[in-house]
Structure 1
Amino acid sequence: MPSEFGAILKDWRKVRRFSQLDLSLEAEMSARHLSFLESGRANPSRAMVMRLSEALQLPRPAANQALNAAGFAPVYPSLSDDAPELAPVHQAIAAMLDHHDPFPGYAIDRHWNIVDSNQGAQMIIALASPGGPANLIDILISSEALDLIENWDEVAVLSLSRLRTEILELGGDAHLSALAGRLSSHQRVRKVDLGSINLNQAVIPTIFRLGDNRLSLFSVIAQFGSVQDTRAGETRIELMFPMDDQTTGFFGR
């Protein structure tokens, strides 16, 4: 009978679309031993769990779950936001956002909730969702009726594609799936002709309309490379840069 670890291993192998042979080669082990681990006929060592987690590119929370299932303590910390150890992380986020002003910049968590933002972003957010949600997908949906984003269809379809990619990488996520479902079921998204979206562009910006001002911005997304905390390590910093002189001048004023 498969063990809890064996079931987790098999599920993730299927998510990553590996055969047992593929995964055994990636993890530098025998396919026979891998089969025994999945079936519960063998128990993994801590080192083997870590090796398979690396081969499967498991998110840190999933790697902790696999360790727990195999009878080992989690290796990646899960600290509270106010933990002293995370102070340098928060300082780095604040510094990046502050230095990016007056252009918009914000930090989001795994579920696209805005956890920090600079003045440029706060201005856009206040226009797109006054007093409303602090979640980028919810803001995108609520902004549709405002004619604030000129190329809303394009932005919505690309955001949906990004959401679905993240869900696959995480091996499923109920919260992200709910957000993707809300966006994909939006009547305007359902009517989008994908053939009408020009993907043959070096950069696809988000184009805002603020009165007579047409603001064209593209995003650069940064993530921490060495933060091991399960939540802080998933924080992304998105910095928006101007595509033209008009946009540069607007934010400069």
Structure 2
Amino acid sequence: MQSEFGSILKEWRKVRRFSQLDLSLEAEMSARHLSFLESGRSNPSREMVLRLSDALQLPRPAANQALNAAGFAPVYPSLPDDAPELAPVNQAIDMMLSHHDPFPGIAVDRHWNVVKSNNGAQMLLALASPDGTANMMDILINSAGLDLIENWDEAAMLSLTRLRTEILELGGDEKLAALMQRLANHERVKQIDMSAINLNQAVIPTILRIGEKRLSLFSTIAQFGSVQDTRAGETKIELMFPMDEETVQFFAR
């Protein structure tokens, strides 16, 4: 009878599109042993669970789930946001955002909810989301009928690609999938003519219309490489940079 760990292992192997042979080579083990682990005929050691988690590139919460299913304690912590251990992480986020002012900068969680923002971003969020919505994908969807984002079609298609990639890396996520479905099912998205979208550009900015001003911004997204906490490690910091002098001067004022 297949064990809970065996079911998790098999499911993730299929998500990563590995054959048993592929995974056994990646994890430096025999295909026979891997087959026994999946079927429940053998039980893994803690070291083996971690080795397979690494080979499958499991997200930290999934690695903890695999360890628990095999009868071991989780290795990755899940601390409250105000835990003293996370103070350096929160300080780093604050430093990145404040140093990036007056240009917009935000920190978002796994589901694109804004958890922190600097002054430049707060101004844009107030314009883009007067109802206080603080989810970047919801803001994009809600702005479809407005004149705020001049190249909304490009922004929507790039966001769909990003969401698909993130869902694949996570092995599935119901909330992200729901956001992606909402965006994909939007009437404006269904009417997009892909031949009219030029993806062959060195930089594809987001172009905003604010009154008489035309602002052009491109983004860089950073994540922590050594933070082991399951939630803090998934925090993304998006910093937006001006593409032209008019945008520089707008935020400088």
* 1:1-253 mapped onto 2 (5 Å cutoff): 1-253=1-253
Amino acid at match of 1:109: D
CA contact (8 A) 1:13 1:56 kept: yes
CA distance in 2, matches of 1:31, 1:177: 33
- Secondary structure class of the residue paired with 1:71: coil
Amino acid at match of 2:198: N
How much has 1:132 moved relative to structure 2? 2.7
CA distance in 2, matches of 1:154, 1:199: 8
Structure 2 residue runs without a partner (length 5+): none
CA distance in 1, matches of 2:195, 2:230: 39
TM-score normalised over the length of structure 1: 0.99
| Cα deviation digits, residues 115-159 of structure 1 (max 9, x gap) | 000010111111111133100001111112221000001001100
CA contact (8 A) 1:128 1:146 kept: no
TM-score normalised over the length of structure 2: 0.99
Amino acid at match of 2:112: W
| Cα deviation digits, residues 72-127 of structure 1 (max 9, x gap) | 00000000011111111111000000000000000000000000000101111111
| Cα deviation digits, residues 210-245 of structure 1 (max 9, x gap) | 111110000000100100000000000000000111
- Secondary structure class of the residue paired with 1:240: strand
Identity %: 79
Structure 1 residue runs without a partner (length 5+): none
Amino acid at match of 2:7: A
How much has 1:196 moved relative to structure 2? 1.7
CA distance in 1, matches of 2:61, 2:6: 17
CA distance in 2, matches of 1:171, 1:195: 31
